[in-house]
Amino acid sequence: MNSSTALSLATFIYGLATVFYIGHFAFKKNKLATAGFWVLVAAFVLNTAGIGLRWVESYQMGYGHAPFSNMYESLVFFSWTMALLYIFVEVKYKEQGFGVFVSPLIFLAIAYASFDPGISSKISPLIPALKSNWLIAHVITCFLGYAGFAVAFGFSLIYFVKPKQTAENTFLGRLPSWDVIDELTYQMVVFGFLFLTIGIITGAVWANSAWGKYWSWDPKETWSLITWFVYAIFMHLRLMRGWHGKNLALVSIVGFAAVLFTYFGVNFLLSGLHSYA
Amino acid sequence: MKNQDTIPRQIWEFFCSVKLTVYTLVLLAVTSIIGTVVLQNGTPQQYIDLYGKGGYNLIQVFSIDDMYHAWWFLFLLLLLCINIVVCSVERLSLVWKTIFPKQIRFNPDRFLRSKKKHTFFVDQAADAVTAACESWLSKQVGKVHKKNQENTWMVYAEKGRWTRIGVFVVHASVLLLLLGALIGAVFGFKANVRIDEGKQVGTVFAAKTRQPIQLDFLIRCNEFAVKFYDTGAPEEFRSNLTIIEDGQETLTTDIRVNHPLRYKGINIFQSSYGTTSAGAAVMAITDNISGQKITRTMQVGETITLPEETGSFQLQGFLPHFDFRGRNLGEAFFGKVTLKEKEAFQIGLPLQFPTFDKMRKGRFSFVVTDFEKKYYTGLQVTKDPGVWYVYAGFVLMILGCWVTFFMSHQSFLVAVAPSKDGGTIVHLAGRTNRSTQNLNLKLTGMATRLENQFKKGESI
């Protein structure tokens, strides 16, 4: 098996997991959620294998670099981090009702990588600016941050689907309660915030060793800082102003919009130093 | 406080409000977008072309052409700093006694009111259970405090009180970062310089103002080399530099992208390169009448005789950017052709267009097939004495965030009360200043372990 087969299979199986979770949401069968979980784990294993194989293949081709160097590789890794975080949350908090809101995001990222003709999946050599030990630390931390915010975004959506008071046995009653969503959204934002902070910092230290400036107000840097500001606002509103529920969920959604713009918008709409991913 | 309405007090209140923090952060986030959409540090003409005269006036008034250094943006940052200082002083004075108490006190009612407390029955005497709980809690959490209240033993332990300081560390780190940036802006510089291979310089030019900056040493570029992958993408840019101080060569080293040279507080980075001049060129000359083709290696300045004594050709020089009728044709050689009984004329030989001279339709056509490149290396030269403050800020920010978000002050209470039938009722409850979800999970685990201990009949 080579990396592209593994990743195509992973895409397909993530899609299957999404179908199971949607089925659970629609038909209220717990077995479907359990099945969804195990299918998701299987896809995650393939995703991991795909990334690992791609790493090995790049060495075989003589380029030898971690698979974090372009849009395709970053999207595949983004799915991987989201899946990892989601699996952790489901195992730790034993809540299955979230799956329907998160699994589509995991599937969409990797599917976008595979199906958009504008995104090349070719393994290409590293340009000089990317040849640094900071590459791995920077990419991993940034994408763990993005994943935290993506999962928080999925959780925040529940507020707009489920009313605060719902009878236990109704269609929406099986979704987690507002208290649980509130707590978990916060946990995910906190996780994302810590890793985004480390991601920006590793990026700054790297920029200082590559270009001699730790901060140059490049669009990517600026947008990551804007994202950081939005989530800093989120924390202050929640911890110091007592915001909860829908209002706070809106801030989390705005924050995720900023994440998406930092990730995609900057590359497609603005120009700057950070043109690889 | 009596004098709540005095003006200093009102100002203080204004600066320590979290509303101000939120508004400032919102303004910073929203205005930061401008600089990513509007061209930064462009020329006046660029702005007039893009936004018209009126637009350019507006851009000048608000310094949007360099908005991250505009007065109003710096004012927002200053506001944030004052806000952080005032808030931290205010809150630290309130929680100081909580973080560093003279004596640990606890209020059992606060714990026992919790809905998430765990309660179970033990078929043993209260005294034995209390002793067992005390030793268990001290192992699980830490130092135990105990008091008797209405015939119930309250056994209390806590950990992580110091983690309450984390949030202050995070805010201090922001101040440290900005202080570092300020020091860098005032005492440092960012400059560029181009050095031809074999040449040396002692002066660099500030990136923004183009003002010359004198260095305490000379930098010589011995060699520049660029390597490409098979795909044509660049693999490596490398400059071999020598530092010359007081006439002595003190250091010779290679620099590459991501591998700068740091010398006496000055950082030297590889940032660009180009061809500055050429050595020998291989010249292919075709006689368009006879079809005869000759190849010669020529030095710049050298003159050769053309076939059949028809004239001569002098290779005059090299241009990094050959301008042909307003178009930049890139690197090119130029030379002078002198044919017998005709006026001499100049020709350009752009390297990217080998058939260029053929289109002139002269007797001879000239092509440069190969040449010896002389590069210049483009270096970024910076000095930033503030960078260590910034890095210290980075470290503090990561540590502070970790402590604030993933650690918490947790306290636990075991209440042991004798029941009427000679057994004992045990309650376990906990409190925290952070994630209650995590605490509840932890409490569930603890309660199970504590109860099992009594079931097994173990006594510790």
| pLDDT computed for residue A275 by the predictor | 62
Closest CA–CA distance from residue B130 to any residue of chain A (Å) = 32
pLDDT for A207-257, tens place per residue? 998 888 899 899 999 999 999 999 999 999 998 888 888 899 999 999 999
| pLDDT computed for residue B271 by the predictor | 86
Alpha-carbon distance B88 to B12, whole Å? 12
Give mean pLDDT, residues B426-430: 94
CB B216 within 8 A of CB B245: yes
The confidence band for B300, taking pLDDT boundaries of 50, 70 and 90, is: confident
Alpha-carbon distance B196 to B323, whole Å? 22
| pLDDT computed for residue B323 by the predictor | 86
Closest CA to A79 of A261, A270, A266, A263: A263
Judged by DSSP in three states, B143 sits in coil
Closest CB to A128: pick one of B26, B33, B234: B234
Mutate to test the interface with A, among B258, B272, B379 (most CBs of A within 10 A): B258
Closest CA to A224 of A195, A253, A248: A195
Contacts of A226 in chain B (CB under 8 A): 29, 32-33
Q: Look at residue A50 and tell me whether its pLDDT is greater than 80.
A: yes
Alpha-carbon distance B439 to B430, whole Å? 7
Closest CA to B413 of B99, B117, B97, B101: B117
Alpha-carbon distance B286 to B40, whole Å? 50
Q: Does B394 touch chain A (CB under 8 A)?
A: yes
Alpha-carbon distance A173 to A97, whole Å? 10
What Rg do the C-alpha atoms of chain B give, in angstroms?
39
Q: Look at residue B458 and tell me whether its pLDDT is greater than 60.
A: no
CB A196 within 8 A of CB A227: yes
Tally C-beta pairs within 8 A across A and B: 116
The confidence band for A180, taking pLDDT boundaries of 50, 70 and 90, is: confident
Q: Does B116 touch chain A (CB under 8 A)?
A: no
Q: Does B190 touch chain A (CB under 8 A)?
A: yes
Contacts of A229 in chain B (CB under 8 A): 25-26, 28-29, 32
Alpha-carbon distance A217 to B308, whole Å? 64
Range A244-248, long-range pairs (CB < 8 A, 24+ positions) = A244/A182, A245/A159, A245/A164, A245/A178, A245/A182, A246/A159, A246/A160, A248/A182, A248/A185
CB B403 within 8 A of CB B173: no
| Residues 6 or more apart whose Cβ sits within 8 Å of residue B119 | B425, B426, B427, B428
Q: Does A50 touch chain B (CB under 8 A)?
A: no
Task: Give the B window 149-188 contacts with A, CB below 8 Å.
Answer: 181
Alpha-carbon distance B238 to A150, whole Å? 41
Q: pTM of the entire structure?
A: 0.84
Closest CA–CA distance from residue A15 to any residue of chain B (Å) = 31
The confidence band for B203, taking pLDDT boundaries of 50, 70 and 90, is: very high
> Under an 8 A CB cutoff, do B28 and A229 touch?
yes
| pLDDT computed for residue A79 by the predictor | 96
Extended beta strands in B116-231, E state = 118-122, 144-149, 152-159, 189-196, 200-206, 212-228
| Residues 6 or more apart whose Cβ sits within 8 Å of residue B23 | none
Closest CA–CA distance from residue A222 to any residue of chain B (Å) = 7
Q: Look at residue B4 and tell me whether its pLDDT is greater than 80.
A: no
pLDDT for B281-294, tens place per residue? 898 998 888 888 88
Closest CB to A128: pick one of B231, B236, B402: B236
Give mean pLDDT, residues B299-323: 86
| Residues 6 or more apart whose Cβ sits within 8 Å of residue B134 | B144, B146, B155
Contacts of B234 in chain A (CB under 8 A): 127-128
Closest CA–CA distance from residue A216 to any residue of chain B (Å) = 10
| pLDDT computed for residue B1 by the predictor | 47
Q: Look at residue A165 and tell me whether its pLDDT is greater than 80.
A: no
Token pair in block for residue A99: 């799956």
| pLDDT computed for residue B318 by the predictor | 86
CA B435 remoteness from chain centre: 31
> Under an 8 A CB cutoff, do B271 and A132 touch?
no
Alpha-carbon distance A257 to A259, whole Å? 5
Contacts of B398 in chain A (CB under 8 A): 194, 197-198, 201
pLDDT for B57-73, tens place per residue? 999 999 998 999 999 99
> Under an 8 A CB cutoff, do B18 and A233 touch?
no
Give chain B's end-to-end CA distance (angstroms, integer): 53
pLDDT for B324-335, tens place per residue? 888 888 888 999
Cross-strand partners of B105 = none
> Under an 8 A CB cutoff, do B236 and A125 touch?
no
> Under an 8 A CB cutoff, do A197 and B234 touch?
no
The confidence band for B460, taking pLDDT boundaries of 50, 70 and 90, is: very low
The confidence band for B85, taking pLDDT boundaries of 50, 70 and 90, is: very high
User: Which helix or strand (DSSP H or E) is residue B354 part of?
Assistant: none
- In 10 A of CB B246, how many CB atoms? 8
pLDDT for B220-273, tens place per residue? 999 998 888 888 788 889 999 999 999 899 999 999 988 999 999 899 999 888
Task: Give the A window 219-258 contacts with B, CB below 8 Å.
Answer: 219, 222-223, 225-226, 229-230, 232-233, 236-237, 240-241, 258
Closest CA to A118 of A172, A72, A77, A157: A72
Closest CB to B32: pick one of A186, A197, A222: A222
- The amino acid sitting at B291 is G
Q: Look at residue A19 and tell me whether its pLDDT is greater than 90.
A: yes
| pLDDT computed for residue B459 by the predictor | 46
Contacts of A208 in chain B (CB under 8 A): 387
Closest CA–CA distance from residue A202 to any residue of chain B (Å) = 9
| Residues 6 or more apart whose Cβ sits within 8 Å of residue B113 | none
Q: Look at residue B420 and tell me whether its pLDDT is greater than 90.
A: no
> Under an 8 A CB cutoff, do B22 and A128 touch?
no
